[in-house]
C-alpha cells in the first residue's frame, strides 16, 4: 500500500508520512503540484494525501487533473472553516477531507476508511529503511527482493523500534524498555538479541550495513544516507 503526499509544508508532510509509515504504508513525497503529478504518474500510488494550498498548481487543479485520468483515492487537507474549499474539493472528486489541524490518528483512520470504501486495502506494506523492509504484522524482514526472513517476537520488536527511529541513535535503556517493558531485561539480553537479529539481517555480520553501535550509548539503524 503506497501513499503519495503532496504538500509544500515539509514539516507537516513529514508528520503525515511518519503516521502512515507506522501503519505500513510506503511513502512518496512531493512538495509542489508539478512534481506531484510526475510522481503520481511514475509511482501510481494507492492513495493521495493532498494539501489544497500549493504553490503554482493549487490543490483543486491537481485534483481535477488526477480525476481526468484515474480514480486514485484522494484525501484533501484543508484549513478549518474554509467550508467552500471542502465542498469544492468533494465536487471535483476528492474522496475525503481533513481540516487542519488534525491528529495523525484521525488521518490514519480516514485513510483506511477511504481505501476500504474504494475496495482496495490489500495487506499493508511494511516499515522500511534503505532496502530493508519489515512486515511487522507477519514478523518477517526482507532485504531488497530477497526471501522473507522470519523473526522471533523479540527480534520483531527490536527491529520495529529501530526502524521507527531509523537514523537515530537509541540508548540501550530505551530499547530495553521498549522490547522487554520496564523492570525487566538487562544489557546482556539486549546484546544477545542484537547479535541474533544481526545474524539474520546483516549479509556480512563483520561489516554492518544497517545497524550501527555507539559505544556507551546504544544502537541505531542506518537510514538512507550516512
Partner DNA sequence: TTTTATTGTCACATATTTGTCACCCATTCG
Partner DNA sequence: CGAATGGGTGACAAATATGTGACAATAAAA
| Cβ distance to DNA smaller for residue 119 or 216 | 216
Cell 503554482 found at: 56
CA distance 215 to 103: 37
Q: Which of 168, 187, 203, 224 is close enough to bind its own copies by CB under 8 A? A: 168
CA distance 37 to 146: 31
Which of these segments, 57-65, 70-78, 86-94, 149-157, binds its own copies (CB under 8 A)?
Answer: 149-157
Residue 75, judged by CB atoms within 10 A of its CB (0-12, 13-18, 19+), counts as buried
Which H or E run contains 63? Answer: helix 59-67
**What residues contact residue 188 under an 8 Å CB cut-off, 6+ apart?**
none
| Cβ distance to DNA smaller for residue 147 or 188 | 188
| Cβ distance to its own copies smaller for residue 29 or 74 | 29
Question: Do 26 and 125 form a contact (C-beta atoms < 8 A)?
Answer: yes
> Mask of contacts with its own copies, 80-119, x by CB under 8 A?
--------------------xxxxxxx-------------
Interface residues with its own copies (CB under 8 A) are: 10-11, 14-15, 18-19, 21-22, 28-32, 34-35, 38-39, 100-106, 137-139, 148, 150, 152-153, 164, 168-169, 173-174, 177-178, 181-183, 214-217, 220, 226
Amino acid at each position: 500500500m503506497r501513499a503519495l503526499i503532496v504538500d509544500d509544508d515539509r514539516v507537516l508532510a513529514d508528520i503525515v508520512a511518519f503516521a502512515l509509515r507506522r501503519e505500513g504504508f510506503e511513502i512518496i513525497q512531493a512538495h509542489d503540484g508539478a512534481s506531484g503529478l510526475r510522481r503520481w504518474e511514475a509511482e501510481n500510488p494507492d492513495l493521495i494525501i493532498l494539501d489544497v494550498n500549493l504553490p503554482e498548481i493549487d490543490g483543486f487543479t491537481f485534483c481535477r487533473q488526477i480525476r481526468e485520468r484515474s480514480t486514485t483515492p484522494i484525501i484533501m487537507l484543508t484549513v478549518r472553516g474554509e467550508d467552500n474549499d471542502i465542498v469544492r474539493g468533494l465536487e471535483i472528486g476528492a474522496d475525503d477531507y481533513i481540516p487542519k489541524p488534525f491528529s495523525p490518528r484521525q488521518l490514519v483512520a480516514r485513510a483506511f476508511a477511504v481505501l476500504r470504501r474504494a475496495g482496495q486495502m490489500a495487506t499493508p506494506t511494511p516499515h522500511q529503511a534503505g532496502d530493508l523492509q519489515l512486515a511487522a504484522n507477519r514478523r518477517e524482514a526482507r532485504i531488497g527482493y530477497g526471501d522473507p526472513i522470519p523473526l522471533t517476537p523479540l527480534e520483531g520488536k527490536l527491529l520495529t523500534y529501530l526502524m521507527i527511529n531509523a537514523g537515530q541513535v537509541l540508548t540501550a535503556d530505551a530499547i530495553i524498555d521498549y522490547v522487554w517493558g520496564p523492570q525487566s531485561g538487562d544489557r546482556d539480553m539486549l546484546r544477545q538479541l542484537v547479535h541474533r537479529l544481526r545474524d539474520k539481517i546483516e549479509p556480512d555480520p563483520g561489516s554492518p550495513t544497517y545497524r550501527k553501535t555507539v559505544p556507551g550509548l546504544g544502537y541505531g539503524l542506518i537510514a538512507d544516507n550516512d
